[in-house]
Amino acid sequence: MKRREFNSNLLKLAGAGGLAAWLGNDLIGRSDAAMRDPRLKGAYRFSRDRWIYIHMQGTPSEVGFQHGHLLAPEIADAFKAVEFTNLRGTGKSRDFFRRAAREMLWSKVDAEYQEELEGIQQGLASRGVRMDLDDVIWLNAMEELADYYVPWYDARHKSTPGKRPVSPGNCSAFVATSSYTKDGQIVIAHSCWTSYLHGERWNIIFDIAPQHGHRILMDGFPGVITSDDDFGINEAGLMITETTITQFHGWNPDGKPEFVRSRKAMQYASSIDEYVHIMLDANNGGYANDWLLGDRKTGEIAQFELGLKAWRVWRTKDGCYVGSNFARDPRVLAEDTTFDPHDLSSSPNARRVRWEQLVKQYKGQIDLQLARRFLADHYDTYEKSVRPDTRTLCGHGDVSRHGERIFGWKPYDPAGSVTGKATDSRMTAAMSFYARRGHPCGENFVVAPFLKAHPEYAWQSPLLHDMIAGPWTVFKSGERA
């Protein structure tokens, strides 16, 4: 069958060149027919300030179908990037990941989210995208399979890994309340850190009105049912973010996938206690995080450090918790990580020092304006200089001479902060938050001059895109273009 060309609207949606091969034949005809599908009732998407906003509603199957259909070009492109980096980073095959998704993870997924994942695959098929259910599960488990399951598998099977994965340890975040904030209410903010190859694709605002549970507003990655970076709020007044625990090890093959537990907690938890309970239930150790939480209804905040063998919750109605990928509970440090909390040259510890400086300096003044300034900060506490690198709250690996060994980042690695988000109690009550694409400081990453200066990263060139910063923008549940 002869391939047809995209129409102009679909070209605008797809963006990256070469995507046609992922979307198959007869895309236009399939799309026109699918738009009459009753499962799409009430769903829509629009673009604003470099984000794609998507509203989904209804049963799990309907929400999934809407997700897959409305974001089909972006999901196909995102999966191509995930497949590329997962295979190169681990030395494993495509069949290895698909088999793990099907044989180990699928049976542990709650029925509600099985229906949603199946809906995503059906929505993709309605647009002619050639991804099956195993691919959709793999995409949702992209961190926990590559960075947690693979090291466990290699150790268990005494196999020599082609590549040695490093558990991710990137993101900067804080949550503050009472005497620490300007109005005494909660302020929470987060910048996602990852490779620019993935990060430029981290461009979705999800507004989900599910059949059961709370309405959700979160940022996220195309095709993934949880925020995954993570930042979101729900209509029960919970404010949720995290930073990943650095140098974590451990995996429970009988546990429930992290992407399921984190989505379920955001959808169903009405309190900090309920959030902790859901995340602890059948914990598999995948994508282990320090969760920073706030409850708008009570003014209480918490830090929930979730390892595999150990975990701990700190909570207060007057204080501030910060995150930059360090673990601080002695049991979590000893039993679940190899992290050194005393090495001040490492990114997690250098950024922790900077967070503590800023919190002390601005106690009683913290608001959304300061939150956005914090995320854009370029002070390196180890070198005591103002220069963006991997030790600054706004991370810029592409200009860092030293890279970050414990993240597996080499000098000038194209990785760092790729989004910024912030909200407070007032905005959460209105189901809204601020978000910025690209570096929170507003600087751009442009591929051509970077690769000319650093040809050692040319292997990324087929998929590495310019990462242009957008403005800080307010998004709200239920809004339209």
- pLDDT for position 17: 38
Tell me whether residue 163 is in a domain: no
CATH number for the domain that contains residue 24: 1.10.439
What number of H helices and E strands is found in the chain?
18, 17
- Does residue 399 form part of some domain? yes
Same domain, yes or no: 142 and 179:
no
Tokens (6 digits) for 462: 């087929």
Coil vs helix vs strand at 237: coil
Question: Do 195 and 327 fall within a single domain?
Answer: yes
Query: Looking at the domain assignment, is residue 3 inside a domain?
Result: no
Take residue 433 and report the two structure tokens written for it.
């938050």
- For residue 298, tell me if it sits in a domain: yes
Q: Do residues 63 and 197 both lie within one domain?
A: no
Looking at residue 172, what is its pLDDT?
Answer: 97
Same domain, 349 and 427: yes
Q: What is the pLDDT of residue 166?
A: 66
CB 273 within 8 A of CB 265: no
pLDDT on residue 473:
98
- 277 and 387 assigned to the same domain: yes
Tell me, yes or no, whether 332 and 467 share the same domain: yes
319 within a domain of the structure (yes/no): yes
CA proximity to 23, closest of 62, 86, 84, 69: 69
pLDDT of residue 163: 57
Task: Tell me what pLDDT residue 14 has.
Answer: 41
C-alpha 135/C-alpha 130 separation (Å) is 9
Q: Is residue 459 part of a domain?
A: yes
Amino acid found at 62: E
Instruction: Name 243's Cβ contacts closer than 8 Å, sequence gap at least 6.
Output: 170, 171, 172, 173, 190, 289, 290, 292, 323, 324, 325
Is residue 40 in some structural domain? yes
Residue 125: the pLDDT is 98
Is residue 138 located within the same domain as residue 202? no
Q: What is the pLDDT of residue 159?
A: 76
Question: Per-10-residue mean pLDDT for the chain, 481 residues long?
Answer: 36 40 40 73 98 98 98 98 96 97 98 98 97 98 96 87 66 98 98 97 98 98 97 98 96 98 98 98 97 98 98 98 97 97 97 98 98 98 98 98 94 98 98 98 98 98 97 97 89
Domain boundary residue, one of 94, 123, 156: 156
Helix (H) or strand (E) holding 370: helix 368-375
- Same domain, yes or no: 85 and 210: no
If one counts the domains in the chain, the total is 2
Residues 242, 133 within the same domain = no
Look at residues 73, 77, 12, 7 and name the one whose alpha carbon lies nearest to residue 47.
Answer: 12
Task: Provide the pLDDT for residue 139.
Answer: 98
In this structure, is residue 92 part of a structural domain?
yes
* Judgement on whether residues 224 and 127 belong to the same structural domain of the protein: no
Tell me, yes or no, whether 253 and 393 share the same domain.
yes
Q: Looking at the structure, do residues 140 and 181 belong to the same domain, yes or no?
A: no
What span, in angstroms and rounded, lies between the C-alpha atoms of 193 and 169?
8
| Helix locations, 205-327, DSSP H | 258-268, 272-280
CATH number of domain containing 315: 3.60.60.20
Give φ, ψ of 416 to 5 degrees: 150, -150
Domain with 315, as residue range(s), is 173-476
How far CA 14 is from CA of 7, 74, 265, 419, 445, in Å, comes to 11, 6, 32, 20, 20
123, 156, 189 - which closes a domain: 156
Find the helix packing angle between 72-90 and 133-140, rounded to 10°.
70
Which of 156, 181, 200 corresponds to the end of one domain? 156
Name the residue type at position 165.
P
